[in-house]
Amino acid sequence: MNKYILSKKLYRNELATFYSFLIGFLIALAVGSLILFIQEKNPFDVFSLMLKLSIGSVNSLSNSLNKAIPLILAGLGISIINSVKLWNIGAEGQIFMGAIALNFVYINTSINNSQIYILLLLVSGFLGGAFCILFPAITKVLFGVNEIITTLLTNYIVFGLTIYLINGAWKDPASLNFPAAAYVNESVYLPTVLGKLSSGFLICILFTLIAYYIKDKSVFGYEMRIAGGSELTAIYAGISAKQKAFFAMLIGGGFAGLAGAIELLSQTHRVSTGISQGFGYTAIIVAAITGMRPIGIFLVGCLFGALTIGGSVIQTIGVSSYIAEIIQATTLFGALIAQFFFSYEILKKDEND
Amino acid sequence: MIDVQLMGLLNATLQAATLLFIAALGELITEKSGILNLGVEGMISVGAVSGFITAINTESLFLAVIVGVLSASAFSSIHAFVTVVLKQDQTVSGLILTILGLSLSSLIGKPYVGKKLEVKLTSLIDIAEPSNIFQVLLNQNLIFYIAILLMIFTAYILKKTMFGRRIEAIGEDLKSADSMGLKIAKTQFIATCVGGAFAGLSGVYLTLSYVPYWTDGMTSGRGWIALALVIFGGWKPYRTAFGALLFGFLEALGPRLQTYGFEMSPYIVKITPYIITILVLVFLTIIKNGNTGAPKNIGIPFFRENR
């Protein structure tokens, strides 16, 4: 009947994910150009301006890398949770929760040594993120409740909680009509290392290595992969799949929470709705596009950080910042399309068959 | 007076339920064929914005509904193409469909933020203060009745027609379906696009009637609640409708709590539907012992091995 049949390739190119990403990115640039063209803007001008203002100088480059921090950390969290084949769509909420937990600890404690204090605040951010995913994690491992929906809906709850806090108990009277909590003291700001680049980026590098170690080198990571791969194998190997899933979720949530803490200590310096601008969602793209590989997440996170900065600066010439988001999402769609050609081949059917 | 208040609550319940139900019903059809589409939120948004823009520019409601439905359906075909034809991960594709749908609709809707709609879907018989259930039912607009028809129609198609049985066969047992010679890819593709069309109708209802204006992120998680509704309804149209009424009631009740004498921060009231959705989902999964009645092949791409 069909002249052609689809066949799974026996050997998949090792760099398939990387090539797919490149192809996806090119497709996304083409789509972005098309949209700009429809809006009567010269795509070449817009893209070169984006490039110039996102990586053209030390200042803009450090802005881009600062933006990359939450994307990378949340992306790493998502990738750790995906080791057990679970999805964390709640990174956005966990980022906010990290900032909320930090502020809660900040208000209720006082330590003179600012380095120890910063460390404590970062840890509380991590714990806040882990706390945020606690309920989805418990209900997942105990009852098998769909974690995609519970983690996603948690985003709306935590965002609502943020608005509630910054309009009520935590509202800074000095912030007037813009609801926000009071600024934290300058002594706990994360110092900058180069230009405007926050030292949070160093933490980010450290956690990329930690995530790489956890996922690819540690016993825990190996057990997570088995637990996520096959229930039976896990049972034979004496691995508690539920326990692995539970801890993977908490650690992953913590990574996103840490992102919120760093964002607060290095960028916003207070709890406001600006703690995250959809970083948790973009992080899903970053994680998925790299096939959940930590080093890849780091690199793509940097690129997407630059794209986000580029997207926000082109608003000055009347181009919508959503172009950047559309390019990011389309990159993944393009990569998925390319993946197909790396995993399958179309063969001509033998007439005698 | 209490009657009028109660009827107001009922009215708001039906409106909120209609919005959730249509999207959930579409997703139900898609999932029945074994395709999971997490892009509901994005598809609703695309339908909402394109319907709204059409209504503003043409002042034709009919055209607005058609454009909203078709554009969301066309948008969902991206998911169909990537997952059915190219057999890629359905979770990833659906999530990105949501992200892309939201940013795309923000982009094209930007010039229309804050614009007032001259035409609006009005109820068939306008009753300012309905005082009994009958009047409340008459007070709904056309899409409400379409939703009821779609519910009956979908339940009938899925249970009683050959086409419906085929969808179910594909969702439950791919190998047998393939042996029977069913056109798996075609059926799944159609089911996904139908799901998109339903989400589009839900979006049109949102911008042409429920809140007749356009603003970023106005779908505010309703697509995800619709996804939860499908699980709640156990992949059955009538039960999903019941769930929609329940969730609609909760959404309508929130802002009214104060009039009934409950003192609650409006910010907390806003998040109650999400909390309750999670709790209901957890409760339901526990009593069903994890066996929610999902189609067996959901999320598994069809691939006929070499022979």
Burial of B189 (0-12, 13-18, 19+ CB in 10 A): buried
- DSSP-derived pairing of the beta strands A197-198 and A4-8: unpaired
Tokens linked to A190 = 């994360």
Residue B264 reports pLDDT greater than 80 = no
Decide if A325 touches B, using CB distance below 8 A: yes
| Contact call for residues B194 and B29 (beta carbons, < 8 A) | yes
Tell me how far apart the alpha carbons of residues B22 and A112 are, in angstroms, rounded to a whole number. Answer: 58
User: How deeply is A352 buried, as exposed, middle or buried, from its count of CB atoms within 10 A (0-12, 13-18, 19+)?
Assistant: exposed
Sort out which chain B residues have CB atoms less than 8 A from A153's CB and list them. 221, 224-225, 228, 274, 277-278
Render pLDDT for B36-89 as a digit per residue (tens, 0 to 9).
999 999 999 999 999 999 999 998 899 999 999 999 999 999 999 999 999 999
Confidence tier at A41 by pLDDT (50, 70, 90): confident
Which residues of chain B neighbour A322 with C-beta distances below 8 Å?
103-104, 106-107, 110
List chain A residues with CB under 8 Å of B220: 156
- Report the number of secondary-structure helices (H) and strands (E) in chain B: 12, 0
Which residue of chain A is at minimal alpha-carbon distance from B79?
Answer: A333
Tell which residue, B56, B75, B70, B71, has the closest CA to residue B207: B56
Interface probe for A, chosen from B37, B77, B86 (most Cβ of A below 10 Å), is B86
Whether residue B215 has pLDDT greater than 90: no
pLDDT of residue B306: 44
Answer whether B164's CB lies under 8 Å from B157's CB: yes
Chain B residue numbers with beta carbons less than 8 Å from the beta carbon of A36 are none
At B307 the pLDDT is 39
Fill in the DSSP letter of residue B302: P
pLDDT grade, residue A14 (50/70/90)?
A: confident
> In degrees to the nearest 10, what's the CA dihedral of A237, A240, A244, A246?
170
Which positions ≥6 away from A266 have C-beta within 8 Å?
A: A66, A69, A189, A190, A198, A199, A200
And the tokens for A115? 């380095």
> Band of the pLDDT at A11, cuts 50, 70, 90?
confident
Contacting A with CB below 8 Å, chain B residues are 38, 78, 82, 86-89, 91-93, 95-96, 99-100, 103-104, 106-107, 110, 220-221, 224-225, 227-228, 231, 265, 267-268, 270-271, 274-275, 277-278, 281-282, 285-286, 290, 303-306
Q: Which helix (H) or strand (E) holds A345?
A: strand A344-348
Alpha-helical runs (H) found in chain A: 16-38, 43-55, 58-82, 91-108, 114-132, 134-143, 147-167, 200-212, 219-229, 231-236, 241-263, 279-289, 294-313, 322-343
Query: What is the set of domains in chain A, with CATH numbers?
Result: 1-39+320-353 (no CATH), 65-318 (1.10.3470)
Report the predicted TM-score, pTM, of the whole model to 2 decimal places: 0.92
Looking at the partner chain, which of B87, B106, B225 has a beta carbon nearest the beta carbon of A340? B87
Query: Are A133 and A250 a contacting pair, CB within 8 Å?
Result: yes
Residue in chain A nearest B272 by alpha carbon: A157
Identify any residues that bridge with A5 across adjacent strands, giving them in sequence order. A347
> pLDDT (tens digit, 9 = 90+) per residue, B131-145?
777 777 877 888 999
Helix/strand/coil for B123: strand
Set out the domains of chain B in order of their start, with CATH numbers: 2-120+133-287 (1.10.3470.10)
pLDDT surpassing 90 at residue B129: no
Whole-number pLDDT of residue A99: 97
Quote the CA–CA distance of B46 and B102 in Å, as a whole number.
Answer: 7
DSSP for A211-243, please give it.
Answer: HHIIIIISHHHHHHHHHHH-HHHHHHTT--HHH
The count of other CB atoms within 10 Å of the CB of residue B85 is 16
Does pLDDT of A119 surpass 50?
A: yes
Alpha-carbon distance of B9 to B15, in angstroms, equals 10
Q: Which two tokens stand for residue B134?
A: 């009958």
A312–B contact, CB cutoff 8 A? no
Residue carrying structure tokens 């509380």:
A124
The answer to whether the CB of A65 falls within 8 A of the CB of A201 is yes
Identify the residue whose tokens are 């409340």: B136
CB A240 within 8 A of CB A113: no
The pLDDT tens digits for A285-342 are 999 999 999 999 999 999 999 999 998 888 888 888 889 999 999 999 999 999 998 8
